[in-house]
Structure 1
Amino acid sequence: MHSFNEEGELLPEEIDTINRLTQIPIESLNLDAIAVVTNLYRVAQGLKNKMEQEVLSEYGLSWTAFSMLYDLWIWESVETKKLAESSAVSKATVSNITKTLERKELCYRKTDNRDRRITYVALTEKGRQVMETLYPRFHKGEVTIVSSLSVEEQIKMTRLLRTIIRDNRF
């Protein structure tokens, strides 16, 4: 199931998927749920790939590295656990990406003075400058990606996605 065309008709790939899935014994096959999840995944992957290729590659940043850098830009200093949660990655991934960002002099780690088990990641001045240059280009990509939707459709989609996020604690 990929995407619907302008008239809302199924595309050939979607028809093939439905034909295959209706042949297997699933008690109550919910094709609408399949369509939503499959299309969300496709949009997420497409968005990630497009932004990495067209915007982030110039800075040698992956989507996850940019996401972490963005959070640091917003909050300046973030505990690694919160950074992992907000980027939807493991603490080990945060550690690896932080090392890469430190090599690029975009952030640094610091330990909590009261509890040495807690580590924060903080944005450097160079990191702030990079984000102030990079984010306007990134935002232009965001606007382009949703440009086929009206403002009302964008608002409705945001509400629906927030419901999914809250209900699943993403």
Structure 2
Amino acid sequence: MESLNLDAIAVVTNVYRIAQGLKNKMEREVLSEYGLSWTSFSLLYDLWIGNQVETKKLAGSAGVTKATISNITKTLERKELCYRKVDNRDRRITYVTITDKGRRIMEDLYPKFHQGEVEIASNLSVNEQKNISALLRRIIKENHF
């Protein structure tokens, strides 16, 4: 067996730990008040920015399957935060659109979510934040994440 690359192990382990940690922190401290999971928030955020988005694109953005998006969308529809509409020309394509209620929720929720982001990165200087972002983007790009 070849020797272990401890630096690679440390990078991957730490990225995983921070991803899980921030997801759990935000769900517990911000999203639970609105009855949203991390993935449902991510979907609602994409709709808030894009207004109407194809399910395939939502799945790619959230890193989940179209089936998962379908399930989350059903839950968000029951809460009247979005609705689905099949494309008139191609019935295989479904679009999801944010509702006015969904938009109001995001306008109330996002400043609290952003404050959580600021707190998570607060121990790093602006330069360190830029450096870590650039390095993470490189990993994302080179691995097609």
Give the TM-score normalised by structure 2. 0.99
C-alpha separation between the residues in 1 aligned to 2:78 and 2:144? 33
- Pick from 130, 142, 151 the counterpart of residue 105 of structure 2: 130
Alpha-carbon deviation of 1:46? Answer: 0.3
Q: AA paired with 1:30?
A: N
Q: AA paired with 1:39?
A: N
Matched, 1:100 2:78: no
Matched, 1:58 2:19: no
Moved over 2 A (4+): none
Q: Looking at CA atoms only, which structure, 1 or 2, has the larger radius of gyration?
A: 1
Match of 1:41 in 2: 16
- Pick from 144, 147, 157 the counterpart of residue 122 of structure 2: 147
C-alpha separation between the residues in 1 aligned to 2:29 and 2:128? 25
C-alpha separation between the residues in 2 aligned to 1:51 and 1:155? 22
In the TM superposition, 1:1-170 aligns within 5 A as 25=1, 27-170=2-145
SS state at 2:21 partner: helix
Uncovered stretches (5+) of structure 1, i.e. residues with no partner: 1-24
Uncovered stretches (5+) of structure 2, i.e. residues with no partner: none
Match of 1:11 in 2: none
Point out the structure with the larger helix share.
2
User: Percent sequence identity over matched residues?
Assistant: 75
C-alpha separation between the residues in 2 aligned to 1:66 and 1:28? 41
Question: Which string of whole-angstrom CA distances, capped at 9 and with x for unpartnered residues, describes residues 75-115 of structure 1?
Answer: 00110000000000011100000000000000000011111
Aligned residues: 145
Alpha-carbon deviation of 1:28? Answer: 3.5
Q: AA paired with 1:34?
A: I
C-alpha separation between the residues in 2 aligned to 1:44 and 1:138? 15
Q: AA paired with 1:127?
A: G
SS state at 1:28 partner: coil
Root-mean-square deviation over aligned CA pairs? 0.6
Greater RCO, CA 8 A, separation 6+: 2
Question: Which string of whole-angstrom CA distances, capped at 9 and with x for unpartnered residues, describes residues 40-73 of structure 1?
Answer: 0000000000000000000110000000000000
Match of 1:12 in 2: none
